[in-house]
């Protein structure tokens, strides 16, 4: 067996590109999934990204961590199905569409077609649907390039009807679930909610949590004039002092809140004018002299004032004494009869910030709203739905959060200016705080009283917290910290959005009696859609022509039966269909389709209707040929096929469309409200599906669904878009006789992604009884593993958890948590710790990084940069460090083995790890098995960072100790047993190491594994599927060899020798100590020394290793080191167990005799000569086994004494003094100050 020659300067990106072709050609990902039984499943959920933005380095980080665990579990024998997904709804998509259409707000959206809101929304949503795929190619390229294995061919797409229908089902289950009061968990309420007036929609609390920014705003101390109350000591010159950071809310003020248990006082300022800031010039000004004012504040705030003011405290009282006191309104905006402008109690009032008195505007604050309800206060909505001041006050008609040319909020500025003129502004100052912004459009949010639909999450806080106890969080502190604290204080989930492109909220309300209904399936509105037929598009099971890769459409060649596997596929499919109330079954006349239909029909007791229009595409001249032969003629199919098919007799697109359209038209005219199975072939079914969805010819081939063998796709025969405005046309009949209209809102986009565990499978509509049992029993739910960035604790992590808790409460899923293990990732930052952004110019393109260094290297760096939960400052310059520290070291070890194995014609056997007597062999094999054990334990605990650290250390040991110490065993000319033991050991180690590294670095692991376990030719040097018997997997095995189809290494405890491992570490400690002595004495290692003395007597077996490493002639193992010998340099044993610590063992000592005798000096010079000749061999481009001739001048004594050693070490057949005719290379050197000239020739 010859191994493929290894290039020592291999370009890793180029190698990876070739491996990608091999994986694609041989469907290695698919085979890795299919090789394991579904009975042993590991469940992984892919959080859906949005393809309307380009993927970045942070996506590579997340996908690397997502990828490594499923790969590991696959190699451990689990079936890990990984379904990709696309997040296609919501504000992010709408905002992108608005930009592309040049729109600014909702009013412009509804006027795209002037005067026609309905058609305008249709056009807008059409643009949204197009925009979600804008960067789909970039995402797919990145996903493939970085070797993130996920099923991109059959993704779940959140805008598809099948996904929407499953989301509806989830909503309906929650709607039907009641709380202890018998109320639905979904309710409509008038509440103060976070509101983006630019987007015109409410946001949920978890969306708000993602958009906080640190800002500096104007805060003011404003005086509210109290109405006189002699009994309380309040005259007509007494004011309540209030601090606020939202001056724009003051026109909506209706009350002042105090704390019942807070102590208050009336003060009279004597001197030291209060200093304010001019609202116009933003400069400090002094409040004008006026007659002494009396101010009501908390005693705690009064204590703060003592530092800058002289005042008398006139009276003290508790908060309760202030209740009911009245004051004069700042603005005349109350046009109601409700009592207002008096002091009320608020349990949220504190003295931590401000004066201990809070102004209440029920329309603009959650606490304010609750106070308003408690005291029946009026709600003064002084800002309109577009975010403009609507009250007749300064700033009317201006957006409350729009800034003026001075960078201030314009309305705030005008209000402050007005307060100053009224002489009730006491102080203005800048206040830095965190303020919520819209997470997508970056507009400051306002809290605004609105009608919205909510889920009563606050009532489930205890259950959310309890369910969280079952989740393994990495990092661990997230569990009780960031996530746990969020759950304890969870707010009701505002699930409705006043937007257009989203899953319609499936709630219908009767206009007559107010009855509310949640629709859970299309079946419930099927009558309103015109009673279309429900079609089950079934592709035949695997057939003989599929296995042989032969095209067949000719009925005269119709002899391809279903395979045994194909029959099983259809029998499994029948389980899905048996409870679907099937009325009819149609079939293509081709044998493989007919046999498929017979299995289904026999089970469902149906008669098959055969129809030629369902047959395979006519293949013309290609019938009976392979797919490869077809692709060679039509490489950019389908575009080119449209122009060329006729000349080859291939059915044209128009011909196919006509027969499929005629078939559909006929069954739609003949049948209504029937459930119909259609058995056909891959391309026809895809085309049929696209025709129903009214797609064009390219989409017919390139849409997001292509049927797999033995699968079914449910679609209604009449296409109906469930999005707005079409769904708004659907009216339902109420029991009272009235008409039910759907509410206009769409769902929070986070509800879409939170529903994906079930919606990705179109659950429950396309689920078998068996699937439902698996969901309900916990085999498909919850996930075993998910991973995303830390901000998803307020996003996807939360919505998954919330919906799981809700569905568990309704009895639909077995657990109240959606995932068992989660790795929470820190954000990627630039080298300076700053957030990456295009505006800052610090964004790093991951594709460029992979083009230069390779995906493996980038993955490894992201795994090893620090613990996963920490922020990651990405320094591109460190990629080269990673390459040298890990990849070049590993590659050089692999190169070394292959080069010498090919020279010696080494042949691996089925069991390369045969007994060996060599201590180094035993040690590296022992260390490898310890590594396997530890990495297995770390990965099973989701500790990726520690696992990679262990592998790095082993690679260093392998290269810099085992191989370096074993080189002479490979170099020697005779193929004795010792040399064979070295080959077998290194081969075994490299193969096992490649399997160990496969989850982390899938490319280099594949290259090493395939070359070391497959005979030539290399899979990367030819076309087609490479199937070869592997010598390590038993003779005669006809299979594609890939490390990703191999099992994860298993520790052989018998091969672990902990004593040997410890002894070898001690040997290296002795050597490191000896090297430190040499360094301190400035003596090169090539210079031999007389002897070493040590009291480490248990290392006598390793004396030859120590002698060679430290280049000493002898080792004396003694009880105590001789301190009397002046030529001995003594050190306490230095140990470096890891890179973080260094240990000195004063009980163990090493001493070296540093006296250099004339003979030792000559030998040292001889070793320098050897080094120079070896470097010349490399420079001349010689192969390692090339014999050479050497001539020299100078250092004659060295050659006389050590010529034989020099010749042996340099593979020189002759060493001669003088010149060498036609020398390949000639060089002159100085060794210890003496000149020498060396000439070499091959």
Q: Residue 278 and residue 687: Cα distance in Å, rounded?
A: 71
Residue finishing a domain among 434, 451, 484: 434
Domain endpoint, select from 1109, 1126, 1156: 1156
Is residue 537 domain-shared with residue 679, that is, in the same domain? yes
Instruction: Annotate 721-741 with b (16+ C-beta within 10 A) or e (fewer).
Output: bbbbbbbeebebebeeebebe
Whether residue 1137 is found in the same domain as residue 992: no
Residue 1146: the pLDDT is: 55
Question: Could you tell me if 169 and 465 are in contact, meaning their C-beta atoms sit under 8 angstroms apart?
Answer: no
| CA distance linking residue 298 with residue 281, whole number of Å | 31
- Cα–Cα distance list, 1081 to 34, 587, 1084, 1126 (Å): 63, 89, 9, 14
Pair 988, 890 in one domain: yes
Is residue 782 reached through a cis peptide bond, with omega within 30 degrees of 0 on the bond before it? yes
Query: What digits encode the pLDDT tens for the residues 741-775?
Result: 999 999 999 999 999 999 998 888 877 666 677 77
* Phi-psi map region of 115: left, alpha, beta (phi>0 left; psi -120 to 50 alpha): left
- Collapse the DSSP code of 680 into the 3-class scheme (helix H, G, I; strand E, B; otherwise coil) and give the result: strand
pLDDT at 216: 86
Phi first, then psi: give them for residue 714, nearest 5 degrees.
-95, 130
Contact of 642 with 652, CB cutoff 8 Å: yes
Mark which of 408, 434, 460 sits at the end of a domain. Answer: 434
Query: What is the per-residue DSSP string for 375-398?
Result: HT------B-TTSBB-SSSTTTTS
Q: Between the CA of residue 1173 and those of 471, 1055, 1182, 1209, what are the distances in Å?
A: 63, 40, 12, 9
Give the residue carrying structure tokens 């596929």: 569
Of 372, 330, 473, 266, give the one whose Cα is nearest residue 942: 473
Query: Cα(343)–Cα(232) distance, rounded to whole angstroms?
Result: 13
d(CA 921, CA 898): 18
Q: For 511-589, list the strands marked E by DSSP.
A: 516-518, 534-539, 584-587
Same domain? For 1129 and 1190 the reply is no
CATH code of the domain containing 325 = 3.90.740.10
Positions marked active-site: 48, 87, 750, 792, 796, 835, 838
- Tell me how many domains the chain contains: 5
Spell 1108-1125 as b/e; 16+ CB within 10 A means b: ebbbbeebeeeeebeeee
* Residue 482 domain-assigned (yes or no): no
- What angle is formed at CA 539 by the lines to CA 538 and CA 545, rounded to 5 degrees? 160
Q: Is residue 1133 part of a domain?
A: yes
Task: Spell out the long-range contacts of 273-280 with Cβ–Cβ below 8 A and sequence spacing 24 or more.
Answer: 274/309, 274/426, 274/427, 275/427, 276/420, 276/425, 276/426, 276/427, 276/428, 277/427, 277/428, 277/429, 278/420, 279/218, 279/413, 279/416, 279/417, 279/420, 279/425, 279/428, 280/417
Looking up residue 984, the CATH number of its domain turns out to be 1.10.730.10
Side-by-side strand order, sheet with 255-258: 342-345, 255-258, 358-360
Q: Let me know whether 262 and 408 are in one domain.
A: yes
Q: Is 824 helix (H, G, I), strand (E, B) or coil?
A: strand
Instruction: Please state, in angstroms and rounded to a whole number, the distance separating the CA atoms of residues 442 and 385.
Output: 18
β-pairing, 1112-1117 vs 1089-1094, is parallel
Does some domain include residue 198? no
- Same domain, yes or no, for 598 and 619? yes
d(CA 601, CA 1131): 87
Query: What secondary structure letter does DSSP report for 887?
Result: I
Residue 114 lies in a domain: no
Q: Looking at the structure, tell me whether residues 640 and 681 fall in a common domain.
A: yes
**Which distant-in-sequence residues (6+ apart) come within 8 Å of 1109 by Cβ?**
965, 1071, 1074
Please count the CA atoms within 13 angstroms of the CA of 639 that sit on its side-chain side. Answer: 2
Q: Which of 170, 183, 45 is nearest to 812 (CA)?
A: 170
- Could you tell me the pTM of the whole model? 0.83
3-state DSSP call for residue 178?
strand
Say yes or no: 869 and 995 in one domain: yes
CA 176 to chain centroid: 34
Q: Answer whether residue 245 is part of any domain.
A: yes
- DSSP secondary structure string for all residues of 759-789: HTTTTTTT--HHHHHHHHHTSSSSBSBEEEE
Q: Pairing relation of β-strands 608-610 and 731-733? A: unpaired
Positive or negative torsion for Cα 691, 696, 699, 704:
negative
User: Within 815-873, where are the H helices?
Assistant: 846-853, 855-864
Q: Are strands 472-474 and 821-825 parallel, antiparallel or unpaired?
A: parallel
Q: String of b and e for 823-836 (b: at least 16 CB within 10 Å)?
A: bbbbebbbeeeeeb
pLDDT at 644: 63
Cα–Cα distance measured from residue 1048 to residue 1005, given in angstroms and rounded to the nearest whole number: 12
H/E stretch holding 83 reads strand 83-86
Cβ-contact 928, 912 below 8 angstroms: no
Residues 1149 and 1226 in one domain: no
Is 203 part of any domain?
Answer: no
CA angle 952, 953, 957 (to 5 degrees): 120
The string of pLDDT tens digits covering residues 857-895 is 999 999 999 999 999 999 998 888 888 889 999 999 999
Q: 402: helix, coil or strand?
A: coil
What Å distances lie between residue 641 and 649, 687, 698, CA to CA? 11, 15, 11
Dig out the tokens for 395 from the structure: 């700033």
Flag whether 166 is in a domain.
no
Please check whether residues 1152 and 1177 belong to one and the same domain.
no
Distance, in Å, from the CA atom of 679 to the CA atom of 983, rounded to the nearest integer, reads 57
Q: Which two tokens stand for residue 1062?
A: 């410890």
Is residue 89 situated within a structural domain? no
Q: Quick one: CA dihedral 336, 339, 341, 343, positive or negative? A: negative
Question: Which CATH number characterizes residue 693's domain?
Answer: 3.40.50.1240
For the four alpha carbons of 343, 345, 347 and 352, in that order, the dihedral sign comes to positive
Q: Please tell me what DSSP assigns to residue 76.
A: T
CA angle (618, 621, 625) in 5-degree steps: 95
1149 and 1189 part of one domain: no
What does the pLDDT read at residue 282? Answer: 40
Listed as ranges, residues in the chain with pLDDT below 70 are 1, 206, 271-292, 308, 635-646, 696-704, 768-771, 910-915, 973-975, 1015-1040, 1134-1146
My answer on whether 1196 and 1143 are in the same domain is no
Confidence (pLDDT) at 177: 96
What span, in angstroms and rounded, lies between the C-alpha atoms of 154 and 47? 15
Is 741 within 8 Å of 731 (Cβ atoms)?
A: yes
Domain holding 609, by residue range, is 533-716
- Cβ neighbour number for residue 1156 with a 10 Å cutoff: 16
């Amino acid at each position: 067996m010859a191994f493929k020659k290894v290039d020592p300067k291999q370009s890793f990106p180029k190698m990876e590109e070739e491996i990608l072709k091999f994986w694609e050609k041989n469907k290695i990902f698919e085979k890795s999934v299919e090789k394991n039984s579904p009975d042993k499943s590991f469940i992984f959920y892919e959080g859906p990204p949005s393809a309307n933005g380009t993927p970045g380095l942070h996506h590579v980080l997340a996908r690397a961590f997502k990828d490594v665990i499923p790969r590991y579990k696959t190699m451990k024998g689990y079936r890990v199905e990984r379904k990709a997904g696309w997040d296609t709804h919501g504000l992010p998509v709408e905002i992108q569409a608005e930009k592309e259409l040049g729109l600014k707000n909702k009013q412009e959206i509804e006027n795209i077609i002037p005067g026609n809101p309905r058609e305008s929304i249709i056009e807008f949503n059409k643009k949204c649907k197009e925009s979600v795929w804008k960067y789909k190619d970039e995402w797919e390229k990145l996903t493939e390039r970085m070797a993130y294995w996920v099923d991109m061919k059959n993704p779940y797409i959140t805008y598809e009807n099948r996904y929407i229908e499953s989301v509806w089902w989830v909503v309906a289950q929650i709607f039907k679930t009641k709380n202890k009061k018998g109320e639905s968990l979904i309710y409509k309420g008038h509440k103060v909610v976070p509101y983006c007036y630019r987007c015109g929609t409410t946001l949920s609390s978890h969306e708000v949590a993602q958009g906080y920014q640190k800002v500096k705003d104007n805060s003011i101390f404003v005086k509210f004039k109290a109405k006189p109350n002699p009994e309380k000591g309040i005259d007509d010159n007494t004011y309540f002092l209030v601090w606020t950071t939202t001056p724009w809310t003051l026109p909506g003020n209706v009350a002042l809140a105090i704390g019942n248990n807070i102590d208050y006082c009336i003060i009279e300022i004597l001197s030291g004018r209060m200093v304010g800031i001019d609202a116009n010039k933003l400069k400090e000004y002094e409040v004008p002299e006026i007659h002494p004012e009396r101010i009501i504040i908390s005693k705690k705030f009064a204590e703060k004032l003592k530092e800058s003011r002289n005042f008398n405290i006139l009276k003290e009282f508790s908060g309760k004494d202030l209740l009911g006191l009245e004051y004069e309104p700042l603005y005349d905006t109350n046009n109601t009869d409700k009592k207002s402008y008096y002091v009320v109690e608020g349990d949220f009032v504190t003295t931590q910030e401000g004066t201990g008195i809070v102004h209440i505007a029920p329309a603009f604050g959650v606490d304010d709203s609750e106070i308003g309800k408690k005291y029946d206060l009026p709600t003064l909505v002084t800002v309109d739905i577009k975010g403009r001041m609507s009250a007749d006050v300064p700033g009317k008609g201006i957006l409350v959060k729009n800034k003026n040319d001075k960078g201030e909020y314009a309305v705030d500025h005008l209000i402050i200016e007005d307060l100053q003129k009224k002489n009730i502004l006491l102080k203005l100052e800048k206040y830095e705080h965190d303020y919520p912004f819209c997470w997508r459009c970056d507009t400051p949010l306002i809290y605004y009283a609105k009608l919205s639909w909510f889920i009563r999450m606050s009532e489930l806080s205890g259950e959310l917290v309890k369910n969280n106890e079952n989740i393994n969080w990495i990092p661990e502190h997230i569990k009780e910290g960031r996530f746990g604290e969020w759950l304890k204080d969870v707010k009701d989930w505002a699930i409705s959005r006043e937007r257009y492109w989203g899953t319609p909220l499936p709630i219908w309300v009767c206009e007559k009696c107010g009855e509310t209904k949640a629709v859970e399936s299309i079946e419930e509105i099927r009558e309103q859609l015109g009673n279309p037929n429900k079609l089950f598009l079934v592709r035949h099971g695997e057939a003989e022509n599929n296995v042989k890769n032969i095209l067949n459409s000719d009925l005269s060649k119709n002899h391809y039966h279903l395979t045994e596997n194909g029959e099983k596929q259809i029998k499994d499919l029948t389980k899905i269909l048996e409870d679907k109330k099937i009325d009819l079954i149609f079939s293509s006349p081709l044998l493989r389709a007919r046999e498929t239909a017979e299995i289904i029909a026999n089970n469902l007791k149906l008669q098959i209707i055969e129809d030629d229009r369902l047959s395979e595409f006519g293949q013309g001249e290609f019938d009976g040929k392979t797919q490869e032969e077809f692709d060679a003629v039509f490489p950019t199919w389908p575009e080119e096929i449209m122009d060329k098919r006729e000349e080859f007799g291939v059915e044209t697109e128009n011909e196919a469309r006509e027969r499929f359209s005629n078939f559909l038209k006929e069954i739609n005219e003949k049948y209504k409200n029937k459930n119909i199975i259609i058995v056909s072939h891959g391309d026809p079914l895809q085309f049929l599906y696209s025709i129903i969805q009214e797609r064009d010819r390219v989409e017919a081939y390139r849409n997001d669904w292509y049927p797999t063998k033995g699968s079914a796709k449910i679609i209604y025969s009449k296409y109906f878009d469930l999005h707005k405005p079409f769904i708004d046309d659907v009216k339902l009949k109420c029991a009272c006789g009235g008409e039910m209209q759907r509410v206009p809102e769409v769902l929070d986009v986070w509800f879409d992604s939170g529903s994906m565990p079930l919606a990705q499978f179109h659950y429950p509509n396309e689920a078998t009884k068996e699937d439902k049992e698996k969901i309900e029993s916990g085999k498909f739910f919850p996930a075993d593993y998910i991973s995303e960035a830390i901000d998803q604790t307020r996003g996807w992590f939360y919505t998954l958890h919330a919906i799981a808790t809700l569905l568990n409460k309704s009895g639909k899923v077995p657990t109240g948590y959606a995932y068992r293990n989660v790795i929470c990732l820190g954000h990627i930052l630039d080298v300076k710790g700053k957030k990456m952004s295009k505006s800052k110019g610090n964004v790093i393109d991951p594709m460029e990084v992979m083009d230069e260094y390779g995906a493996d290297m980038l993955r490894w760096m992201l795994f090893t940069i620090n613990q996963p939960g920490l922020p990651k400052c990405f320094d591109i310059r460190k990629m080269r460090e990673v390459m040298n520290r890990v990849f070049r070291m590993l590659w050089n070890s692999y190169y070394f083995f292959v080069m010498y194995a090919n020279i010696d014609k080494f042949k691996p056997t089925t069991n390369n790890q045969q007994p060996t007597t060599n201590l180094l062999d035993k040690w590296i094999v022992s260390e490898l098995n310890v590594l396997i054990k530890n990495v297995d334990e770390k990965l099973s605990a989701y500790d990726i960072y520690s696992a990679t650290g262990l592998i790095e250390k082993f690679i260093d040991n392998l290269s810099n100790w085992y191989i370096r110490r074993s080189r002479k065993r490979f170099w020697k000319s005779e193929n004795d047993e010792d040399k064979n033991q070295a080959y077998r050991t290194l081969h075994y180690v490299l193969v096992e190491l490649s399997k160990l590294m496969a989850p982390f670095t899938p490319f280099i692991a594949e290259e090493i594994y395939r070359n070391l376990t497959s005979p030539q030719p290399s899979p990367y040097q030819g076309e087609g599927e490479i199937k070869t018997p592997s010598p390590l997997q038993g003779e005669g095995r006809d299979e594609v060899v890939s490390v990703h189809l191999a099992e994860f290494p298993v520790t052989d405890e018998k091969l672990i020798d902990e004593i040997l491992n410890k002894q070898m570490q001690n040997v290296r400690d002795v050597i490191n100590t000896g090297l430190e002595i040499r360094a301190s004495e400035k003596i090169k290692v090539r210079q031999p020394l007389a002897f070493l003395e040590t009291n480490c007597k248990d290392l006598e077996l390793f004396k030859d290793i120590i002698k060679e490493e430290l280049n000493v002639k002898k080792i004396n193992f003694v009880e105590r080191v001789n301190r009397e010998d002046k030529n001995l340099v003594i050190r306490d044993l230095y140990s470096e167990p890891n890179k973080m610590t260094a240990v000195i063992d004063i009980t163990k000592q090493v001493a070296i005799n540093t006296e250099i005798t004339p003979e030792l000096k000559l030998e040292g010079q001889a070793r320098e000569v050897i080094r120079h000749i070896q470097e010349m061999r490399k420079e001349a481009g010689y192969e390692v086994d090339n014999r050479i001739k050497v001539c020299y001048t100078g250092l004659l004594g060295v050659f006389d004494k050590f010529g034989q050693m020099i010749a042996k070490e340099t593979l020189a057949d002759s060493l001669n003094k003088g010149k060498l005719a036609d020398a390949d290379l000639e060089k002159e050197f100085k060794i210890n100050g003496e000149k020498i000239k060396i000439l070499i020739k091959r």
